[in-house]
């Protein structure tokens, strides 16, 4: 009984949070940890690993991840899930379940994704994959690790390219190391440090304190998750700090290689349901943002984490204003245009669905059960009345999708019968007229009802009715809806909405 009460309470809280406009976590269709954001074109991309939370062979709770994913947003509230951009299996030398933190950067139109995963017999090591697009497909460039030292703690790579083109790769847990990457981004300068690897001394002056026998001496200390960035010609190193549970500390320097000066905490230890936090930052459209992770998604924990975003403020004296984690997160910086073709995997919030695929295969949303849903925030229908909507769907069992607006969870503006297309990879477009005309800004929610899986690729609203779009209307013959006619010829298996038969579009009602 207690479990049911807990589940109902959680659902109510989730619904209240959603209607209150809560934005954190930003990824809602799975766990997401160790965010690494970057801006490319008119979007923010965030790269992350996917916490499964349990070691399958033992059932123990631990960091267990088999893939890295990327999501992007043009408005900071609706995120497009680009699927499994980089499976751990892309690194043939890796051990299953060890896809930990990563970061992707762009150089000369190529995208370099630095990851850490275990190289059996050598602890975690650092590898690099490359792609021609920020969403992949990526391939392992070296077919072996880029950094392997046979020591513990070679995790959490961060790469920063300075204004003069010199790239630095920092990493480390309970140690901080860097190499100077060559301009090909997959080899490094071997003339400095120990065969190219420089170890940064973890002093009190640089990191606020030191760790002795696992205990922090001083006000803080470097733990892991370094993130190198620059603001107003000052270099900033952000890092998970102070042991576990972690706060996020920062140090500054006039050079990307230090010496570092401890400046304080960006975020103190907070009640986020996660003992790690792993941060990164971007400036997008003139606003600074801070990415980190919490254990706030339903069922979350220290091993099932999810990404959150807050505003970041640099003070004129080089300090950073301390941030409190919030459920509210950040506000939209743009609207989403529902009259343009949208990917089903672009959303603000979801329940029950999975997002499958990758850049090479294409990415789709899969509904599995009744009430699975996807919601889009801040969609601007404009001033001209919007009259119809098209969804591109595939299914072997049929089903139905209800389209609702704002907080109205009971009245649909459209009901789409999912066609039985014969296969989950065979898509058809279904267009239906709206039950009322729509203008202005709204939250749109697509709710599935059905007994089997349905795959959804894209959607788009129109200011024309389906008939005006050139879709011929036909009626079912007699009482049975399994036969209908086009031009007097009987056909089988119609579905409501748009049908395509021998290249001809017609709408069933
Ligand atoms: O995700 C596994 C590890 O947890 C990361 O490498 C650390 O930064 C911490 O977040």
Using CA atoms, how far residue 215 sits from 173, 202, 208, 274, in Å, is 15, 14, 13, 20
Q: Where are the strands (E) in 316-440, listed by range?
A: 342-343, 346-347, 349-351, 354-358, 362-367, 373-380, 386-395, 400-405, 414-417, 428-438
Task: Name, in order, each residue with C-beta under 8 angstroms of 322's C-beta and a sequence gap of 6 or more.
Answer: 264, 265, 266, 267, 268
Percentage of the chain exceeding pLDDT 70: 88
Token digits of residue 148: 């392997």
Residue nearest to atom 9 of ligand 1 (CA): 276
* Pocket flag, ligand 1, residue 51 (CB < 6 Å): no
* Pocket flag, ligand 1, residue 307 (CB < 6 Å): no
**pLDDT tens digits, residue range 33-80?**
999 999 999 999 999 999 999 999 999 999 999 999 999 999 999 999
SS3 letters for 334-363?
CCECCCCCEECCEECEEECCEEEEECCCEE
Tokens 């100077």 map to which residue?
A: 180
The separation between the first and the last C-alpha atoms of the chain, rounded to the nearest angstrom, is 45
Q: Quick check: 390 and 460 in contact, CB under 8 A?
A: yes
Mean pLDDT to the nearest integer, 370-398? 97
pLDDT band at 475 (very low <50, low <70, confident <90, very high): very low
b/e 353-386 (16+ beta carbons within 10 angstroms → b): bbbbbbbeeebbbbbeeeebbbbbbbbebbeeeb
Backbone angles phi, psi at 12, to 5 degrees: -60, -45
**pLDDT tens digits, residue range 157-211?**
999 999 999 999 999 999 999 999 999 999 999 999 999 999 999 999 999 999 9
Q: Does pLDDT of 501 surpass 90?
A: no
3-state helix, strand, coil in the chain (%, to 5): 5, 45, 50
Task: Name, in order, each residue with C-beta under 8 angstroms of 494's C-beta and a sequence gap of 6 or more.
Answer: 474, 476, 481, 482, 483, 484, 508
Q: Where are the strands (E) in 146-203, listed by range?
A: 158-161, 167-171, 176-181, 198-200
Q: Residue 156 Cα, ligand 1 centroid: separation in angstroms?
A: 7
* Pocket flag, ligand 1, residue 278 (CB < 6 Å): yes
* Pocket flag, ligand 1, residue 221 (CB < 6 Å): no
Tell me what pLDDT residue 507 has.
Answer: 54
Residue nearest to atom 4 of ligand 1 (CA): 276
pLDDT band at 288 (very low <50, low <70, confident <90, very high): very high
Q: Residue 64 Cα, ligand 1 centroid: separation in angstroms?
A: 11
Tell me what pLDDT residue 506 has.
Answer: 52
Task: Name, in order, each residue with C-beta under 8 angstroms of 30's C-beta and a sequence gap of 6 or more.
Answer: 50, 354, 355
- Report which secondary-structure segment, H or E, holds 91: none
User: Among candidates 115, 90, 106, 110, which has minimal Cα distance to 33?
Assistant: 115
Q: Residue 172 Cα, ligand 1 centroid: separation in angstroms?
A: 10
Tell me what pLDDT residue 484 has.
Answer: 41
**pLDDT tens digits, residue range 95-145?**
999 999 999 999 999 999 999 999 999 999 999 999 999 999 999 999 999
User: Among candidates 439, 429, 431, which has minimal Cα distance to 415?
Assistant: 431
The strand pair at 86-87 and 43-49 is best described as: unpaired
User: Among candidates 105, 180, 109, 175, which has minimal Cα distance to 146?
Assistant: 180
* Pocket flag, ligand 1, residue 115 (CB < 6 Å): no
- With the most atoms of ligand 1 within 8 angstroms of its CB, the residue from 239, 278, 306 to mutate is 278
Domains recognised in the chain with CATH numbers: 31-311 (2.115.10.20), 342-468 (2.60.120.260), 471-508 (no CATH)
Task: Name, in order, each residue with C-beta under 8 angstroms of 15's C-beta and a sequence gap of 6 or more.
Answer: none
Q: Could you give the CA distance from residue 293 to residue 30 in angstroms, rounded to a whole number? A: 13
Q: Is 435 helix (H, G, I), strand (E, B) or coil?
A: strand
Classify burial at 5, counting beta carbons within 10 Å of its beta carbon; exposed 0-12, middle 13-18, buried 19 or more. exposed
Say if residue 141 is preceded by a cis peptide, omega within 30 of 0. no
Residue nearest to atom 5 of ligand 1 (CA): 101
Q: Does pLDDT of 16 surpass 60?
A: no
Q: Quick check: 305 and 26 in contact, CB under 8 A?
A: no
Classify burial at 292, counting beta carbons within 10 Å of its beta carbon; exposed 0-12, middle 13-18, buried 19 or more. buried
The neighbour count for residue 238, using CB atoms within 10 Å, is 25
Backbone angles phi, psi at 14, to 5 degrees: -65, -45
Token digits of residue 248: 């996020």
Q: Residue 153 Cα, ligand 1 centroid: separation in angstroms?
A: 11
Q: Residue 400 Cα, ligand 1 centroid: separation in angstroms?
A: 41
Which residue stretches of 70-154 are H helix?
none
* Pocket flag, ligand 1, residue 330 (CB < 6 Å): no
Q: Residue 223 Cα, ligand 1 centroid: separation in angstroms?
A: 11
Q: Does pLDDT of 17 surpass 60?
A: no
pLDDT band at 235 (very low <50, low <70, confident <90, very high): very high
Q: Does pLDDT of 331 surpass 90?
A: yes
User: Among candidates 135, 20, 82, 47, which has minimal Cα distance to 407?
Assistant: 20
Q: Could you give the CA distance from residue 170 to residue 238 in angstroms, rounded to a whole number? A: 11
The number of angstroms, rounded, from the C-alpha of 434 to the middle of its chain's C-alpha atoms is 31
pTM of the predicted protein model: 0.90
Residue nearest to atom 8 of ligand 1 (CA): 225
Q: Residue 393 Cα, ligand 1 centroid: separation in angstroms?
A: 38
* Pocket flag, ligand 1, residue 280 (CB < 6 Å): no
């Amino acid at each position: 009984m207690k479990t049911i009460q807990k589940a109902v309470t959680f659902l109510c809280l989730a619904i209240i949070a959603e209607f209150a406009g809560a934005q954190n976590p930003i990824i809602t269709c799975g766990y997401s940890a160790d965010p690494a954001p970057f801006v490319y074109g008119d979007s923010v991309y965030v790269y992350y690993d996917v916490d499964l939370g349990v070691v399958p062979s033992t059932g123990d709770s631990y960091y267990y991840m088999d893939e890295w994913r990327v999501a992007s947003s043009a408005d900071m509230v609706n995120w497009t899930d680009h699927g499994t951009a980089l499976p751990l299996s892309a690194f043939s030398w890796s051990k299953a379940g060890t896809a930990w933190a990563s970061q992707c950067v762009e150089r000369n139109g190529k995208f370099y994704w630095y990851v850490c995963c275990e190289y059996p017999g050598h602890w975690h090591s650092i590898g690099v994959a490359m792609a021609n697009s920020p969403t992949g497909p990526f391939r392992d460039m070296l077919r072996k690790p880029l950094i392997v030292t046979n020591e513990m703690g070679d995790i959490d790579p961060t790469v920063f390219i300075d204004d003069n083109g010199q790239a630095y790769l920092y990493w480390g847990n309970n140690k901080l190391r860097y190499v100077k990457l060559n301009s090909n981004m997959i080899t490094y300068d071997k003339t400095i440090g120990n065969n190219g690897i420089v170890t940064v001394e973890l002093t009190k002056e640089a990191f606020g304190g030191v760790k002795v026998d696992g205990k922090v001496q001083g006000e803080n200390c470097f733990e892991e998750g370094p993130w190198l960035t620059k603001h107003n010609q000052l270099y900033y190193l952000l890092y998970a700090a102070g042991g576990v549970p972690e706060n996020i500390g920062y140090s500054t320097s006039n050079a990307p290689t230090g010496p570092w000066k401890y400046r304080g905490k960006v975020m103190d230890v907070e009640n986020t349901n996660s003992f790690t936090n792993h941060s990164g930052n971007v400036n997008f459209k003139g606003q600074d943002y801070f990415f980190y992770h919490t254990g706030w998604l339903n069922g979350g924990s220290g091993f099932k984490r999810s990404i959150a975003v807050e505003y970041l403020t640099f003070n004129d004296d080089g300090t950073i204003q301390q941030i409190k984690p919030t459920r509210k997160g950040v506000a939209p910086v743009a609207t989403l245009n529902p009259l343009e073709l949208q990917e089903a995997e672009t959303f603000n919030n979801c329940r029950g669905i999975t997002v499958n695929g990758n850049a090479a295969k294409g990415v789709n949303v899969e509904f599995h059960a009744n009430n699975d849903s996807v919601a889009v925030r801040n969609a601007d229908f404009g001033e001209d009345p919007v009259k119809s909507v098209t969804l591109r769907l595939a299914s072997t069992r049929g089903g139905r999708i209800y389209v609702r607006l704002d907080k109205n969870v009971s009245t649909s503006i459209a009901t789409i019968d999912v066609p039985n297309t014969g296969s989950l990879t065979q898509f058809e477009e279904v267009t239906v007229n709206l039950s009322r005309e729509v203008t202005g800004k709204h939250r749109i929610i697509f709710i599935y009802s059905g007994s089997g899986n349905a795959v959804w690729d894209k959607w788009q609203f129109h200011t024309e009715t389906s008939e005006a779009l050139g879709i011929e209307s036909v009626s079912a013959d007699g009482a049975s809806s399994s036969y209908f006619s086009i031009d007097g010829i009987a056909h089988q298996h119609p579905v409501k909405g748009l049908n395509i038969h021998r290249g001809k579009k017609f709408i069933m009602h």
